[in-house]
Amino acid sequence: MPVRAASLVEAIVADPLTGVALEGYDPVSYFLGAEPVPGSPDHVFEWGGVPWYFVSDANRDVFSRNPEIYAPQYGGHCLTSLSRGYLSDGKPRLHVIRQAKLYLFYSVANREAFLASGDDIVALADANWAKFRDGLAGAGQDVTQALDAPAKPAADAESAGH
């Protein structure tokens, strides 16, 4: 059976070197201030087969109760690219929160395109995400399972070799 190209793309965008979501930025911090704050491996939580870093245990606990609220939409893929029918990784520093949802963008131009047109782009991205998501890899699962899987605490720092 041939492998579809989309199956080589991860459901949740993770740093290619560390494997951490949002390049280590704390997803809760996006909702607390103007800029995201880098998290720490001392406060880690695994969700969707990917580790997420946090500034504090409090932020980690908030995320663990409702990860789908704080995680970026479309697994961190660029909203504008997705609305145009292709996938590209969103950059954690290029973001917008609209209607209590975190969206990431591949480039400043893509972010500006969203700000200029708004909700029309979201509707297109939603439709295209539904087409792409079943073919994406997600830690050995399809994206629906990865994003809908119950959140679980990552191993303690001692058991992780620290």
Domain boundaries, the chain: 10-153
The model carries a pTM of 0.79
Q: Which residues of the chain have pLDDT under 50?
A: 1-8, 139-162
Rg (CA), the chain: 15
d(CA 9, CA 131): 14
Q: What percent of the chain has pLDDT over 90?
A: 69
Give the burial string for 127-150 (b: 16+ CB within 10 Å, else e).
ebbeebbebbbbbebbbeebbebe
